[in-house]
Structure 1
Amino acid sequence: MKGFHLLLLLLTTTFVLSIVVKSSKKKLVTTILVFVCPLVLWCFLKNTWLNQWRIRRKLQQQGIKGPKPSFLYGNVWEMQKIQASAANMEETKKMKKTTTNTDEFVAHDYTSSLFPYFEQWRKQYGPVYTYSTGNKQHMYVNHPELVKEMNHCISSELGKPSYITKRLAPMLGNGILRSNGHVWAQQRKIVAPEFFMDKVKGMVGLMVESAESLTNKWESLIGDEYGQTTEIKAEEDLRSVSADVISKACFGSSYLKGKQIFSKLRTLQKAITTQSFLFGSHAFGLQSTGQRRKIEHLEIEIETLIWEAVKERERGPHDDVESKDLLQLILEGAVNNNDDVGGDDSSSKSFIVDNCKNIYFAGHESTAVAASWCLILLALHPQWQERIRDEVAQICGPHGRMDSDSIHKLKTVTMVIQEVLRLYPPAAFVSREALQETKIGHIVVPKGVCLWTLIPTLHRDPDVWGPDVNEFNPERFANGVSKACKMPQVYIPFGLGPRLCLGRNFALVQLKIVVALIVSKFTFTLSPKYVHSPAYRMIVEPGQGVRLLVRRCRE
């Protein structure tokens, strides 16, 4: 950060000059100390405090309030204190809890335990407020009308926050998930067409094949005898299916070939994202040496594995235009990008590796987690399992064979998935940074302000969704999203605006296939060993996995 670098420069300058003072040129050194040190100190204060004070003042003049920040750390210490207090309260509740109540489970407000500072300030200051983390000013925006307005902002106005995405650089490089401006537009031009619905329909066969590998595995674990129940840890199997699909569809390889990449990405994800990930647990966002080395080592390993896969592709045949997958398009895009900007082989390699990392991560992790939440909620509501089972039998026939046409007709499955994504959206936030002064509704947002919209809070707003907001009720989506609530623009499980998730169609079709196949072949409930503990690791996932008691359906 600029402020930290200036402070370091000030301290270094002072140290060096204090040594030189002992030389014969004391007057010259004294003069330098008198003029240079105050200048460096002024630059430091200007970057860490004065600029942010001016931005905060502009927001306050528009009626936007918030917690009072400290001089250097802003509200970071307060956030950490609130987080620690919430963690202690949650632990106390778990110790006192002796039984699992279905209604209590569904109504569980995990935002108050994962992001307690946001919830506490929302209750105190309303759905729009400002706070700071060191030398960065933020604005929490959860007012439905303003969120609706954010949908209309163009990409040059709102981009991904640089201070957050910088921490994700080992995971995402400068790929499509964290880049802005021309770089993002170029990457979107390459990646987006691969996930258009006509392309996704062509992937249905391999999605079904991958999902059937999971059901076959579960059948072998359960055995042939009807009524036999087996406990299954579902989360890793769901990740395997999702990873297999993205590997075959976009990179032309099986999950086994990319298993090392997915495993190391998962390890890197856990290393980067802790509860302090959003605001930094160290002064100026510094990490411990050991943690930094671990992240750097994983980053190198992942890039090496991806580059080996790329070189293998380059050695193989790829002349058939009709059979081009996403990896081939990225390879060609890297060449075109270099021609446009005059880059070298190094920039071409970064372009390829960074976007492969983005697709590998985004293409399988969020979908697998969404599938996990689907199975958890269906385990608690067997009547919806039965409705899905009847629908699949009616549309897909006795053998349950699926194709792109039948999947489109699975209305009950769609309703269930939409309701799960309302209650437990894997993406917790929409995060944006004002790349220029931007007007959202009646608010003028100064350049550099980071905007945060908490998705699960919007999805559980009773003024938008009605009094049954905390109930699992897929029926609310019977007539589509437009009729499910008063303001459908605030249903944003895939984000909003021009940076809406490119893989939305891909994820929804895959979810329909996985959920429909599993439910058509098995009945399941939650295992007594299941512990409900949503955790934030870049996405909101079941913190201690998904344990199900599974048995075969009667033939």
Structure 2
Amino acid sequence: MDQYLWAMLCSMFLVLLGFFSLRLYDDFVAMPQKLRRILLRQGINGPPPKLILGNILEIKKSRDAMDKAAIKQPHPPVIHNAASVFSFLEQWRKQYGPLYLFSLGKMQILYVSKPDLVKAITTCTSPDLGRPYHQQEEFGPLLGQGILTSNGSIWARQRKIIAPELFMDKVKGMMDIITESALTLVNSWKHEIDNGALEITVDDYMKRFSGDTISRACFGSSHSKGQEIFAKFGHLQELISSRIASLGVPGLRYLPTRNNLRIRALEKEIQGLILKVVKERQLAGSEKDLLQILLESAESSHCHSPSDSDSIHQFIVDNCRNIYLAGFETSAVAASWCVMLLASNPDWQTQIRDEINEVCHGRPIPDMNMLRKMKQLNMVIQETMRLYPSTPTLSREALEDITIGDVEVPKGVHVWTMVAALHTDTSIWGADALEFKPERFQNGIAGACNNPNAYMPFGFGRRVCVGQHLAMVELKLLMASIVGSFSFTLSPNYVHSPAMRMIVEPKYGVKIMVQKLQ
């Protein structure tokens, strides 16, 4: 009997092993090869992938070479080329052309830089070209299934709820919050500076400004708890960014590594803190902030059963995660880059200061009407977001078989467009594409380049960032406040080294020498 039972167990084990082996073979060998053949038949080639890993080892080798070069040149010149953090993509473009195929593990990625195909992608309204599902898997602890990662009816519902709360008329209602946060930053710098110049690393200040603004807008009177939540999000983002290099390798995120265990613990902590604020809000009554809007909208579209309560809570947690990345981190980094560019270009800093003095008539912080009149400042911000776009690459996934331009893209293939490369393409922007020249935007985007579809600092199409109005107002008000109160230059200790984490950030921070204006 024991022998019979043992034989049965062995047979069942072998059957299960065979099933999982076939499944793994299909997922990591057969299906990727099938997708590649469809594209290869259309003349689309690329670097040959290795089994399971794809081209990950080549990417790692390219990044290691960049790090070694940086060590040899500790103070590199300031060259505005954010696309350099993806040097492997540019190397492959030179080798295989503006349309090629590469792999991250089992993910097959169609890289597109042909202007006509880029336009076809940016103007595509089909739901069959959506956010990649792997983002929910790989970045789930940070993004969940919120507005940045969801598709179909889930995304449409979230956008319907959130987008109206970030239209310009609602942003006007946030001006007191933004003004208060900007004043806090300006006064803290004035307090630190006595006479002469002081070296300041601006990045943490930018994050405090952005965090304070979005915490007050999102959490209202509970903004101090919002700041605690966003601080934990920042740590979580660093942990997740550290495993981006292994994106696409099967199963790594499930291993009980120290990094993965810390990610899971932080995710639980953040969820618990958000739900605590939600429960307090439900007991205390309503406030007019983004959290309350999310809560009321989620409750109005669900019945009150235990499962629906869980769904409501998950909806709120996921979108608080998304608000952090879209409304806090990207705005803070954009502000740091803008300060760096103005510190590097004293003539433009003077022009902006003259414009501020002319428009504000001595008022320390401008109002909305004053911001509208600051055309020079607007050009500087547009140029900042051209050279250092918050999202350097935009990715989509063919959720069904779809034709883009003249290319048949099979279901499951990922489509990448590199914004940072398009923003500095000399065939689009001219020979001075890598130079800081805000005057190129004097006649708007259409006058700045020969392909307006190639400028997409806030994404494109139906998925364009819903918070772009808030981001622009924040940046304009903060820059006007800083330039109107201080003069500043780059510190000799500044090291220009754009680095890819979740977004392109100054690797060593932006260090400036600051003086108070009389």
Aligned residue type for 1:59: L
Aligned partner of 1:125 among 96, 108, 112: 96
Match of 1:156 in 2: 127
1:116 to 79, 87, 107: 87
Q: Does 1:192 align with 2:126?
A: no
Match of 1:518 among 468, 482, 489: 482
- Residue 284 (structure 2) aligns with: 316
| Equivalent position of 2:233 in the other structure | 265
| Alpha-carbon separation, structure 1, partners of 2:516 and 2:182 | 16
1:366 to 307, 330, 333: 330
8 Å CA contact 2:80, 2:387 repeated in 1: no
Going from structure 1 to structure 2, the CA distance change for 1:510 and 1:39 (only over 3 Å counts) comes to: closer
Q: Are positions 1:166 and 2:146 aligned together? A: no
Q: Distance in 2 between matches of 1:546 and 1:532?
A: 8
Percent identity between the aligned chains? 43
TM-score (norm 2): 0.94
How far has the Cα of 1:275 moved from its partner?
6.5
C-alpha distance in structure 2 between counterparts of 1:207 and 1:378, whole Å: 21
User: 2:515 & 2:104 partners in 1: Cα distance?
Assistant: 50
- Aligned residue in 2 for 1:16: none
Shift of 1:34: 8.4
5 Å matches for 1:34-49? Answer: 40-49=20-29
The answer for the alignment partner of 1:59 in structure 2 is 39
* Deviation (angstroms), 1:83: 2.3
Q: Is the 8 A contact 2:487 2:516 kept in 1?
A: yes
CA deviations over 1:142-177 (Å, ceiling 9, x no partner): 222211111222251222211233111111221111
- Does residue 144 of the first structure (1) align with residue 112 of the second (2)? no
Q: CA deviation at 1:486?
A: 0.3
Opposite residue 89 of structure 1, the aligned amino acid is A
Query: How is 1:56-455 mapped onto 2 (pairs within 5 angstroms)?
Result: 56-94=36-74, 97=75, 104-105=77-78, 107-112=79-84, 114-154=85-125, 156-223=127-194, 225=195, 228-253=196-221, 255-274=223-242, 276-277=244-245, 279=247, 287-318=255-286, 324-339=288-303, 343-455=307-419
Shift of 1:338: 2.3
Match of 1:149, SS state, is helix
The question of whether the paired residues in 2 share the 8 Å contact of 1:275 and 1:536 is answered with no
Q: Where do 4+ consecutive residues of structure 1 move more than 6 Å?
A: 25-36
Deviation at 1:337?
Answer: 3.5
Counterpart Cα distance in 2 of 1:108 and 1:267: 28
User: Aligned partners of 1:27, 1:523: CA distance in 2, in Å?
Assistant: 81
Q: State the one-letter code of the partner of 2:58.
A: E
Per-residue deviation at 1:249?
A: 2.1
Aligned to 1:465: 429
Query: Is the contact between residue 262 and residue 361 of structure 1 (CA under 8 Å) also seen in structure 2?
Result: no
The amino acid of 2:67's aligned partner reads A
Q: Does 1:537 align with 2:509?
A: no
- Contact 1:242 1:367 survives alignment (8 Å): yes
Question: 1:340/1:133 Cα in 2 relative to 1: closer, same or farther (>3 Å)?
Answer: farther
Distance in 2 between the 1:299 and 1:476 partners? 44
Which secondary structure state, in structure 1, belongs to the residue aligned with residue 396 of structure 2? strand
| Cα shift at 1:325 | 2.2
Per the normalisation by structure 1, the TM-score is: 0.88
Distance 1:52 1:110, change over 3 A: same
Which residues of structure 1 form unaligned runs of 5+? 1-19
Deviations 1:198-227 (A, max 9, x none): 11122223212210111111111113x4xx
Distance 1:90 1:543 in 2: 11
Structure 2 vs 1, CA of residues 257 and 340 (structure 1 numbering), >3 Å: closer, same or farther? closer
- Paired with 2:202 and 2:417, the residues of 1 have a C-alpha distance of 30
Compute the displacement of 1:466 (Å): 0.2
Decide which structure has the larger Cα Rg and report it: 1
Report the 3-state secondary structure (helix = DSSP H, G, I; strand = E; otherwise coil) of the residue aligned with 1:176.
coil
CA RMSD of aligned residues (A): 2.4
TM-aligned CA deviation for residue 276 of structure 1: 3.6
* Kept in 2: contact 1:80–1:276 (CA 8 A): no
Hey, what's the Cα distance between the residues in 1 that align with 2:26 and 2:69?
39
Contact 1:243/1:255, CA 8 A, preserved across alignment: no
How many correspondences in the alignment? 518
Aligned letter for 1:232?
Answer: I
SS in 1 for 2:432: coil
CA deviations 1:329-358 (Å, max 9, x no partner) are: 100122133249994211111111111222
